[in-house]
């Protein structure tokens, strides 16, 4: 593998270790029982696990809110500069276990509930996941706000209070069925409604041009309707419990306001229909991953939460600084999590120019010192564009402002590249296609002072392929901040046995300073430690086997290699490459019953976007192949396949600690970073991966001996595509590939229904195999043989697993946040006194 060893960045925490818990067992017990009685109106004899869960949350929330009050007071009195993390998604998962860990109350709560005759494990299972996100981007936002609070940074997350988060996935006869997610049906004990901070947001209508007293042209937007934004605050408890920040999520509500002139064609009934529509704005999260919905409601969602959040920020700023805008950029920095909140740029311009009556240049200066933008993808289908017509209808004034921003920017481009119209049309915010489109990526780069990609290679490609001219124009603007994950949730809380073992070896400060894990490396060859480490893994596998049994009815072999691929289903992530290899193993075993392989259980978890047919077909194919293999006594002692339904944060927490092998097999250049790769390696899984995203940096940290790298590199992919890639070449020249693909077209896996899995084959042949599965197949298969050999050497494998845990220090989200703080946000920690 072409990797080099680099020094792990130092972990970054300024926070102190958690103190002694604020409550002892007796006090916590009393608080839980008090809430059972006084908040829930039940008692110890009648209460079910759900009631115990709510009572425990309420008891913990008392301490959380105390921390919140102190934090807000500190931030207010110190008039702190703060980062405002704008994200359409926050994939928080469950909060009770997390909050108890961060308050150092987990053990106490366990003991308290045990004495009450209640199992904490069962109580924790009562909590619905807060699944207000699709995947990596949403979970990254959740890890980042955890780190911000832990590092005592003044920060607030802003997003949407979706009534329904990401759909619940059921598998019926092998196929994905989507069901609504109702995470709040029985109340959410963490959120606090703040009616005193309701905001109003305008939509539709028209713009009037007026002449002010000074002869200045003034624009007035006469909106067609106004919706209310109701804020719900979720406290975000830092590790150690000192700083408690807030995640503020906006719920839409009808304001009852209608401009009857605008809606003069409608009558009372039509107007009431519009009223109902106001409430649909925050109804549901769009379940897209890496494709743009392009739907009007989605644009309205984006504008809705940005406009509410900006008003909220400005209200808070004015409370301290009145109408003096000169200090705004000292106090406020806004991070745009992808282009979803990019409409905040013209919105701030509108507020400054139309409302505060600042001149354009002054306003633009403020704006471009306020925003920074993170790019999460290079896939063209995921780059947001809005029809100008749609913007004009929903946000007429914003479209005018975007045109003005673009007009002035084009003059800059003309200065740099005189007469070069090709560059102009490439950099323009407006795409002059058959339908005029507004490119939100270009708007974000132009309106921000810093733009970052999320892993070294991704940021390099952002500079080289996506925005090369912007990089020439502003050489300092484009940069990299490699993603990270919070070790509190993704090791300490989800893998208590491994955490305890690590504590014993190196002390308990690693959750705040993950680079300390390198101290484990000296034990990588130590037989006793290897035994202890692998015993933890084995116990975690037994626990996952139990979950698999409960969810699917299947009994898996816990002596087998647990080989896990968990992520959204997408062609570029290549779950179907994994499937092809499984089929190859199956075939080899049938052709040669003594085919020598260590038993392996392949485990998948993945949701497909409901409209992404091929992704759903791949899920179906995995399930049908699994059914066949698991019921085939000729092979099922060596090979098993599991598809766990409804993959989500809480299920990830059960799967990751049990993984031996981590599948990170995207086509090189396609996965911006990946974060599941970090979680799995941190828990001692060995990666089989391509040189893509953060895999490259993981390989640098763990070293070539502790990872299985395969496949084409970014350059080789480009070269192959340039020469003209033909999957047929592989199909006709490789007998194994041909046999497997042809197999998919028979009725072997779908008795009586030949062709039921044919779409997977066709995508790889006539479909052109856009993600080069066939080109990488042999290399992947060879890497898997190396995995097999390595696993059989118990000592070697234990060492590899330990080295993975030991070398993951770089990937704490504390380090990512430190990078943002130092190189983008320029923040200082605010120590909250207890």
Of the candidate spans 401-409, 435-443, 589-597, 670-678, the one that interacts with ligand F58 by CB under 6 A turns out to be: 670-678
Minimum distance, C-beta of residue 137 to ligand F58, in the bound complex (Å): 3
Distance of alpha carbon 760 from alpha carbon 755, whole angstroms: 10
Of the candidate spans 129-137, 149-157, 165-173, 202-210, the one that interacts with ligand F58 by CB under 6 A turns out to be: 129-137
SS3 421: helix
List, in sequence order, the alpha helices (H) in 332-477. 344-350, 360-370, 388-394, 396-416, 421-427, 440-447, 456-461, 468-473
Cβ nearer to ligand F58, comparing 339 with 759: 339
Cβ nearer to ligand F58, comparing 127 with 697: 697
Phi, psi of 207 (to 5 degrees): -110, 130
CB-based closest residue to ligand F58: 136
Print the binding letters for residues 637-666 with ligand F58: x by CB under 6 A, - otherwise. ------------------------------
Minimum distance, C-beta of residue 39 to ligand F58, in the bound complex (Å): 36
Of the candidate spans 132-140, 202-210, 245-253, 721-729, the one that interacts with ligand F58 by CB under 6 A turns out to be: 132-140
Q: Which of 376, 385, 463, 488: binder of ligand F58 (CB under 6 A)?
A: 376
Of the candidate spans 67-75, 128-136, 224-232, 754-762, the one that interacts with ligand F58 by CB under 6 A turns out to be: 128-136
Minimum distance, C-beta of residue 675 to ligand F58, in the bound complex (Å): 5
Distance of alpha carbon 594 from alpha carbon 711, whole angstroms: 28
Distance of alpha carbon 249 from alpha carbon 193, whole angstroms: 10
Cβ nearer to ligand F58, comparing 454 with 498: 454
Q: Which of 126, 233, 274, 290: binder of ligand F58 (CB under 6 A)?
A: 290
**Considering only CA atoms, which of 526, 610, 519 is closest in space to residue 568?**
610
C-beta neighbour count of 724 within 10 angstroms: 6
Cβ nearer to ligand F58, comparing 378 with 551: 378
Number of residues that bind ligand F58 (CB under 6 A): 19
Minimum distance, C-beta of residue 101 to ligand F58, in the bound complex (Å): 23
C-beta neighbour count of 778 within 10 angstroms: 15
Q: Which of 671, 776, 814, 819: binder of ligand F58 (CB under 6 A)?
A: 671
What tokens does 825 get? Answer: 């946000």
CA 205-209-215 angle, 5° bins: 155
Cβ nearer to ligand F58, comparing 54 with 489: 489
DSSP 8-state secondary structure symbol assigned to residue 190: T
Residues 425-454 that bind ligand F58 (CB under 6 A): 454
For residue 450, list its beta bridge partners.
372
Q: What beta strand segments (E) does 463-574 contain? A: 478-480, 561-566
Which residues touch 257 (CB under 8 Å, ≥6 apart)? 200, 225, 226
Which residues touch 69 (CB under 8 Å, ≥6 apart)? none
C-beta neighbour count of 370 within 10 angstroms: 22
Cβ nearer to ligand F58, comparing 135 with 235: 135
Which residues touch 249 (CB under 8 Å, ≥6 apart)? 90, 132, 158, 159, 160, 161, 191, 231, 232, 233, 234
Of the candidate spans 20-28, 58-66, 287-295, 387-395, the one that interacts with ligand F58 by CB under 6 A turns out to be: 287-295
Q: Which of 36, 140, 580, 642: binder of ligand F58 (CB under 6 A)?
A: 140
Cα-based distances in Å from 269 to 184, 261, 263, 272, 393: 30, 15, 11, 5, 22
Considering the rule CB under 6 A, would residue 674 count as an interface residue with ligand F58? yes
Q: What share of the chain is helix, strand, coil (3-state, %, to 5)?
A: 50, 15, 35
Considering the rule CB under 6 A, would residue 136 count as an interface residue with ligand F58? yes
Minimum distance, C-beta of residue 693 to ligand F58, in the bound complex (Å): 6
Burial of residue 127, with CB atoms counted within 10 A of its CB: 0-12 exposed, 13-18 middle, 19 or more buried: buried
Dihedral over Cα of 407, 408, 411, 413: its sign: negative
Cβ nearer to ligand F58, comparing 289 with 697: 289
Cβ nearer to ligand F58, comparing 23 with 137: 137
Q: Which of 131, 672, 686, 696: binder of ligand F58 (CB under 6 A)?
A: 672
C-beta neighbour count of 369 within 10 angstroms: 15
Of the candidate spans 94-102, 283-291, 550-558, 633-641, the one that interacts with ligand F58 by CB under 6 A turns out to be: 283-291
Cβ nearer to ligand F58, comparing 290 with 563: 290
Print the binding letters for residues 452-481 with ligand F58: x by CB under 6 A, - otherwise. --x---------------------------
Helices (H) and strands (E) in the chain, counts: 32, 25
Distance of alpha carbon 363 from alpha carbon 360, whole angstroms: 5
Minimum distance, C-beta of residue 474 to ligand F58, in the bound complex (Å): 22
Distance of alpha carbon 110 from alpha carbon 28, whole angstroms: 10
C-beta neighbour count of 192 within 10 angstroms: 15
Print the binding letters for residues 319-358 with ligand F58: x by CB under 6 A, - otherwise. ----------------------------------------
Q: Which of 252, 339, 486, 675: binder of ligand F58 (CB under 6 A)?
A: 675
- Asked if residue 391 lies in contact with residue 438, where contact means CB atoms within 8 angstroms, the answer is yes
Minimum distance, C-beta of residue 138 to ligand F58, in the bound complex (Å): 6
Phi, psi of 548 (to 5 degrees): -60, -45
Cβ nearer to ligand F58, comparing 312 with 700: 700
Of the candidate spans 282-290, 644-652, 700-708, 804-812, the one that interacts with ligand F58 by CB under 6 A turns out to be: 282-290
β-pair type (217-222, 90-93):
unpaired
Minimum distance, C-beta of residue 289 to ligand F58, in the bound complex (Å): 5
Minimum distance, C-beta of residue 572 to ligand F58, in the bound complex (Å): 9
Of the candidate spans 70-78, 145-153, 671-679, 781-789, the one that interacts with ligand F58 by CB under 6 A turns out to be: 671-679
Count of positions (residues) in the chain? 834
Minimum distance, C-beta of residue 290 to ligand F58, in the bound complex (Å): 5
Distance of alpha carbon 291 from alpha carbon 472, whole angstroms: 29
Of the candidate spans 133-141, 238-246, 496-504, 752-760, the one that interacts with ligand F58 by CB under 6 A turns out to be: 133-141
Residue given tokens 């990872």 in the structure block:
707
Considering the rule CB under 6 A, would residue 134 count as an interface residue with ligand F58? yes
Burial of residue 271, with CB atoms counted within 10 A of its CB: 0-12 exposed, 13-18 middle, 19 or more buried: middle
Cβ nearer to ligand F58, comparing 498 with 649: 649
List, in sequence order, the alpha helices (H) in 417-455. 421-427, 440-447
SS3 830: coil
What tokens does 376 get? Answer: 């999460």
Active centre residues (catalytic):
376, 567-568, 573, 675, 679
Residues 676-735 that bind ligand F58 (CB under 6 A): 693
Cβ nearer to ligand F58, comparing 301 with 495: 301
Minimum distance, C-beta of residue 573 to ligand F58, in the bound complex (Å): 9
Q: Which of 9, 56, 147, 377: binder of ligand F58 (CB under 6 A)?
A: 377
Cβ nearer to ligand F58, comparing 387 with 496: 387
Minimum distance, C-beta of residue 486 to ligand F58, in the bound complex (Å): 14
Minimum distance, C-beta of residue 60 to ligand F58, in the bound complex (Å): 29
Residues of the shown chain interacting with ligand F58 in the complex, contacts defined by CB under 6 A: 134-137, 140, 288-290, 376-377, 382, 454, 483, 671-675, 693
């Amino acid at each position: 593998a072409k990797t080099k060893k680099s020094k792990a960045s130092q972990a970054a925490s300024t926070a102190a270790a958690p103190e002694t818990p604020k409550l002892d067992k007796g006090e916590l017990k009393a608080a839980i029982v008090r809430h059972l009685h006084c908040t829930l109106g039940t008692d110890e004899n009648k209460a079910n696990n759900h009631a115990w869960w709510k009572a425990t949350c309420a008891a913990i929330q008392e301490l959380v809110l105390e921390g919140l009050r102190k934090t807000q007071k500190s931030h207010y009195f110190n008039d702190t500069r703060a980062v405002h993390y704008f994200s359409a998604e926050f994939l928080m998962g469950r909060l009770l276990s997390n909050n108890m860990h961060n308050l150092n109350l987990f053990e106490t709560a366990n003991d308290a509930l045990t004495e009450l005759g209640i199992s904490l494990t069962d109580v924790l299972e009562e909590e619905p996941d807060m699944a207000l996100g699709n995947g990596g981007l949403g979970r990254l936002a959740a890890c980042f706000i955890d780190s911000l609070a832990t590092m005592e940074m003044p920060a607030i997350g802003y997003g949407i209070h979706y009534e329904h988060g990401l759909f619940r996935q059921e598998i019926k006869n092998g196929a994905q069925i989507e069901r609504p997610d109702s995470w709040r049906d029985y109340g959410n004990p963490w959120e606090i409604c703040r009616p005193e901070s309701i905001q109003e947001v305008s939509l539709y209508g028209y713009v009037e041009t007026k002449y002010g007293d000074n002869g200045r042209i003034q624009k007035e937007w006469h909106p067609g309707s106004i919706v209310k934004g109701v804020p719900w605050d979720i406290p975000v408890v830092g590790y150690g419990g000192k700083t408690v920040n807030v995640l503020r999520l906006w719920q839409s509500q009808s304001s009852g306001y209608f401009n009857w002139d605008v809606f003069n064609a409608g009558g009372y009934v039509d107007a009431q229909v519009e009223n109902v529509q106001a409430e649909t704005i925050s109804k549901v999260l769009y379940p897209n991953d890496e494709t743009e919905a392009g739907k009007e409601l989605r644009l309205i969602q984006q504008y809705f939460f940005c406009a509410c959040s900006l008003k909220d920020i400005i209200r808070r700023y004015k409370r301290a600084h009145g109408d003096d805008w000169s200090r705004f950029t000292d106090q406020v920095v806004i991070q745009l999590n992808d282009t979803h909140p990019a409409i905040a740029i013209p919105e701030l311009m509108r507020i400054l120019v139309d409302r505060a009556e600042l001149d354009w240049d002054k306003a633009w200066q403020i704006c471009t010192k306020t925003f920074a933008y993170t790019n999460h993808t290079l896939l063209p289908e995921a780059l947001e564009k809005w029809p100008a017509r749609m913007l004009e209808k929903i946000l007429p004034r914003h479209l005018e402002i975007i045109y003005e921003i673009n007009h002035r920017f084009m003059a800059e481009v003309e200065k740099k590249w005189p007469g070069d119209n090709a560059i102009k049309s490439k950099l323009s915010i407006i795409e002059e296609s058959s339908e005029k489109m507004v490119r939100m990526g270009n708007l974000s780069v132009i309106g921000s002072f810093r733009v970052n990609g999320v892993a070294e290679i991704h940021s390099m490609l952002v500079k080289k392929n996506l925005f090369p001219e912007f990089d020439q124009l502003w050489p300092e603007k484009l940069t990299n901040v490699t993603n990270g994950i919070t070790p509190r949730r993704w090791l300490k809380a989800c893998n208590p046995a491994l955490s305890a073992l690590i504590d014993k070896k190196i002390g308990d400060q690693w959750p705040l300073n993950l680079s300390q894990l390198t101290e484990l490396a000296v034990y990588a060859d130590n037989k006793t430690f290897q035994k202890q480490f692998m015993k933890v893994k084995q116990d975690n596998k037994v626990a996952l086997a139990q979950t698999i049994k409960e969810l699917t009815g299947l009994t898996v072999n816990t002596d087998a290699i647990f080989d896990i691929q968990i992520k959204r289903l997408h062609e570029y992530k290549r779950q179907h490459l994994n499937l092809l290899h499984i089929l190859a193993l199956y075939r080899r075993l049938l052709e040669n019953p003594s085919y020598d392989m260590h038993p392996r259980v392949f485990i998948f978890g993945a949701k497909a976007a409901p409209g992404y047919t091929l992704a759903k077909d791949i899920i179906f194919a995995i399930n049908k192949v699994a059914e066949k293999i698991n019921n085939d006594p000729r092979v099922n002692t060596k090979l098993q396949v599991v598809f766990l339904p409804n993959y989500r944060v809480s299920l990830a927490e059960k799967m990751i600690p049990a993984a031996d092998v981590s599948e990170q097999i995207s086509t090189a250049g396609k996965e911006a970073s990946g974060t599941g790769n970090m979680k799995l390696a941190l828990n001692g899984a060995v990666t089989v991966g391509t040189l893509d995203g953060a895999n490259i940096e993981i390989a640098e940290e763990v070293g070539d001996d502790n990872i299985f790298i395969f496949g084409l590199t970014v350059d080789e992919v480009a070269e192959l595509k340039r020469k003209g890639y033909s999957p047929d070449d592989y199909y006709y020249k490789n007998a194994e590939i041909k046999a497997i693909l042809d197999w998919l077209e028979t009725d072997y896996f779908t008795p009586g229904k030949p062709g039921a899995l044919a779409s997977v084959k066709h995508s790889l042949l006539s479909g052109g195999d856009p993600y080069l599965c066939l080109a990488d197949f042999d290399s992947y298969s060879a890497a898997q043989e190396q995995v097999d050999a390595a696993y059989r050497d118990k000592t070697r494998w234990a060492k590899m697993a330990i080295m993975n845990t030991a070398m993951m220090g770089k990937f704490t989200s504390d380090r990512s946040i430190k990078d943002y703080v130092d190189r983008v946000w320029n923040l200082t920690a605010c120590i909250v006194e207890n």
